[in-house]
Structure 1
């Protein structure tokens, strides 16, 4: 039911008004409804916002037209568009900011480059969204925004492990597996690694995209179980490999901290 239908008997003629006050009132409505998921009546909103009824009705109609508010049984609640906006905000701004300090700490503990990667829009690449470079002059040094084929790198393999069976098979069918470095995987090896990641929550990659580089990656999930991205540590193989067990321990601890930051409580028991 639309807001207009919910108040079809209302004879007040509402004129649209703009300006900062309307913007603030609109946001106040969204906050009140976000705090009350079962919905609020017009009386509830009038009491909470101290806004003239004509102004409130005008704003609710506009929000309803955009799908941000819906009216059911004389109660108002957030619509799908508002929920989606909240998901995008959390995914793109809130959680990466919380994870950043964990990445910094992990880089300090391991002495290596640490990054957060996400699935690129083409769903063929992983994209570095946050990078904490190693302080060492000899280091693996990607830049935020750099992309790598999913199958070649540990963050990409973690992302592939989050795909459904159908999506993974479609990816394998549509991808040309190019051997770029000595450790670049072929299809059978990728299948083995994805199964291992699903079991342990951990990807270890050596010479996958660049000879002489080794990395470890784990998935970072949101509260609802969706994948925020992959957290990885990477560095020169000659320095990385002798302390691999220590790095894995540090990564697992950082993963636990990241999951606490996002509110995620499930996942592989080995992590």
Structure 2
């Protein structure tokens, strides 16, 4: 029985999304393997695959099915309609040119971090890992951009995210205690930027700053990541934070100016 405040959903659509997620996990799969993975009957799995194939979302190669390039087109559409991406990309490019490390533009959705854009600086390392991150959503509590975003959210929203996604440990430096996290978020709000000190990967550090609109709504965050051999001493503690905060402020100003331009255009 459906709970009173639970929104109605269509089971067929829910199952179709599960099929899509499974194909993304398995890369490609035949009907039997996919049915076993999902715990569905082969006939149900086949029907959903046929429906998704007719919609152009799935393609068949031999006996295996995989996601189609239509998702790439849809993803590009979603990305390019984002004002944060439109305005933030040029500044992220400049930051990568100046610093030479990986620079990231991140937004939050459903309690996880989404990498809208990232670019490799000339001396950056970890290409394979950084490419993989574009295909997954980040845990907010262990990345610099994620903690910067959390610091700009209401406490109740952060508590909801912790309740939903937990605080899993990835390294010995990962914050896994809610009280410690809230204390860290308070420090981030006070100084204006966040650190990731080997909390996601040992040997990797990052600095991030939130990006908010004029009403204080957090839109996302900007960050720079690099090996501890580069992000150390004054570079990690002062030079990069100052550059990150400045870049985030430029993006905020440009976003606000873009919104004001739209208002002026509509006021003619």
Sort the TM-score into its range (normalised by shorter chain).
0.5 to 0.7
Task: Note the residue ranges of structure 1 that are not aligned, 5 or more in a row.
Answer: 1-88, 265-271
**Alpha-carbon displacement from aligned partner over 1:33-70 (angstroms, at most 9, x marks no partner):** xxxxxxxxxxxxxxxxxxxxxxxxxxxxxxxxxxxxxx
Q: Which structure features the higher share of helix residues?
A: 2
Alignment RMSD (CA, Å): 2.4
More deviation, 228-237/175-184 = 175-184
Query: What is the deviation of 1:145?
Result: 4.1
1:203 to 188, 191, 194: 194
TM-score normalised per structure 1: 0.59
Matched, 1:256 2:249: yes
TM-score normalised per structure 2: 0.59
Computing the radius of gyration over CA atoms, which structure comes out larger, 1 or 2?
1
Query: What is the deviation of 1:163?
Result: 2.2
Query: What is the deviation of 1:92?
Result: 3.9
Question: How many Å separate the matches in 1 of 2:232 and 2:159?
Answer: 32
Residue 142 of structure 1 aligns with which residue?
A: 130
Question: How many Å separate the matches in 1 of 2:221 and 2:114?
Answer: 10
Residue 64 of structure 2 aligns with which residue?
A: none
Residue 141 of structure 2 aligns with which residue?
A: 151
The equivalences for 1:184-223 within 5 A come to 184-186=174-176, 187-223=178-214
1:164 to 154, 163, 167: 154
The equivalences for 1:13-162 within 5 A come to 92-120=81-109, 122-123=110-111, 125-136=112-123, 138-139=125-126, 142-143=130-131, 144-162=134-152
| Number of equivalences | 175
- CA gap of 1:93–1:173, structure 2 versus 1, over 3 A, is closer
